[in-house]
Amino acid sequence: MTAPTAQRTYRTVNPATGELVREWDFLDDAALEARLAAAHRAFREWREVPVEEKAALFVRIADLIESNLDRLARQTTLEMGKVLPHSLGEGGGAVAMFRYYAKHGADLLADEEVEVGGFSKMVVRREPVGVVLGVEPWNAPLFQAMRATAPNLMLGNTVMVKPAEICAGSTLMFDELFREAGFPEGAYQTILVSTDQVSTLIADDRVRAVTLTGSDRAGSIVGEQASRHIKPVVLELGGSDAFIVLDSADVARAAGTAATCRLLLGGQACALPKRLIVTEGVADEFTAAFVALFTDQVIGDPFDPATTLGPMSSEAAADLLQAQYDDAVAKGATVLAAGGRMDGPGAFFRPAVLTGITPGMRVYREEAFGPLGLIFRVPDADAAVELANDNQYGLGGAVFGEPEEARAVARRLDTGGVGVNGFLGSPVEIPFGGTKRSGVGRELGRSGMDQFANIKTYGYA
């Protein structure tokens, strides 16, 4: 395997203080080969385990994650900076995933019988393919790693997860829990590898599929490599979700939902609303309510129960958001609430709200990853749909208004999902993914297994 040529360590830096917490070395080539060989061996054993036994192990791992939730959440908050309740909620999502597949795995994997002339019986069966490589992000390391893992393990695949380099500690904690739960050695592994080593893994015949959650740039690279080796890939990439508020909306409810969702995980998640598109009849009322709620935050130590907004994940993330904010202001955006980088240690960013966004500004096209509110005023629902779809991303969205009108608008949005009078998010029971540069494929629900299943047909004459 190719040795890493760039940074040779994973580094956890506390974003609230700027202090180095810990470093981990990359796996060397021999160690990585041993890990891959173990995953390949485990697949031969794991694929033969009956679904009922898999379900029992899923209940066991869910119980272990739940009993270790405080420890997992504290590590995530230390590494990523979001407030502790958000980390606890993320870990709870991982628990829910395993409980869902434990309960429904047998039904999701049940044979489908189809009547075909000339055959006495035709069966469509979902079978595993082998080792799945997951390349996962820093913003929700507990949830994202398990979103790649749970459906594939239930199917019978084995999983190797590469975490983001700033939050290795969170994902590594899962390895001990899977061992304690009784999963075969190598069924799940966290691997600390370089981007060059990821490319080598994708090229290896023992790795049969790849899933990535990250930037569209990273997705383009991984997608190209996977296609070169003719391997299925799921890419869950960026989002600049539209949150549409129509004249018929319950404005107070819409503003409250928008402010709450915009600040989840410190505003650093692909599926959070980024563009608030409001029709003229309620624009003033919505703007006043949103700005008051969005900026009314206690900023500080993410472990302090009184804190509602911690630091951003890194100095680099905060600097990027500041550059986007400064660009918009310099090009004429109206500042409804001034914010930006805060003095002192840490990657803190005071929430800011802008309106008057025009196509020449970076935030018109780019994903604003952090506590920056962008309000667009439009004359009517048609203009709202046009603006919502005028974007390179198509992950999710929300429409608030009279139910029938809101549903009609939702049907016109070019996205992978949409919430009507509510925030959709990423429930474990339903497919999650987007269109356009938001990626290809789906995670969770039945789709989470179908993406990397050999959907095999048996015909009996």
Element (H, E) at 222: helix 216-228
**What distance in Å separates the CA atoms of residue 119 and residue 121, rounded to the nearest whole number?**
5
Examine the residue annotation and report whether 270 is marked as an active-site residue of this protein: yes
Q: Would you put residue 391 in left (φ > 0), alpha (ψ -120 to 50) or beta?
A: beta
* Farthest-apart Cα atoms in the chain, separation: 76
Of 357, 366, 342, which is closest to residue 278 (Cα–Cα)?
357
Q: For the range 259-265, what are the long-range contacts, defined as Cβ-Cβ under 8 Å and sequence gap of 24 or more?
A: 259/290, 259/293, 259/294, 259/373, 260/293, 261/423, 261/425, 262/294, 262/371, 262/373, 263/294, 263/297, 263/308, 263/309, 263/351, 263/371, 264/86, 265/80, 265/82, 265/86, 265/90, 265/139, 265/140
Which two tokens mark 149?
Answer: 């893992």
Angle between the N-to-C axes of helices 168-181 and 69-80, in degrees from 0 to 180, rounded to the nearest 10 = 160
Q: Which of 79, 90, 136, 236 is catalytic?
A: 236
Which two tokens mark 280?
Answer: 């003229």
**What distance in Å separates the CA atoms of residue 31 and residue 14, rounded to the nearest whole number?**
28
Element (H, E) at 53: helix 51-67
Q: Which of 136, 270, 367, 443 is catalytic?
A: 270
Of 202, 177, 184, which is closest to residue 67 (Cα–Cα)?
177
350 and 340 in contact (C-beta within 8 Å)?
yes
**What distance in Å separates the CA atoms of residue 430 and residue 418, rounded to the nearest whole number?**
12
Which two tokens mark 126?
Answer: 């979902």
Pairing, β 372-378 against β 352-355? parallel
Q: What burial class does residue 193 get, using C-beta atoms within 10 Å of its C-beta: 0-12 exposed, 13-18 middle, 19+ buried? A: buried
Examine the residue annotation and report whether 261 is marked as an active-site residue of this protein: no
**Which parts of 109-140 fold into alpha helices (H)?**
none
340 and 369 in contact (C-beta within 8 Å)?
no
DSSP 348-409: -EE-EEEE---TTSHHHHS---SSEEEEEEESSHHHHHHHHHSSSEES-EEEESSHHHHHHH
Provide the annotated active-site residues.
236, 270
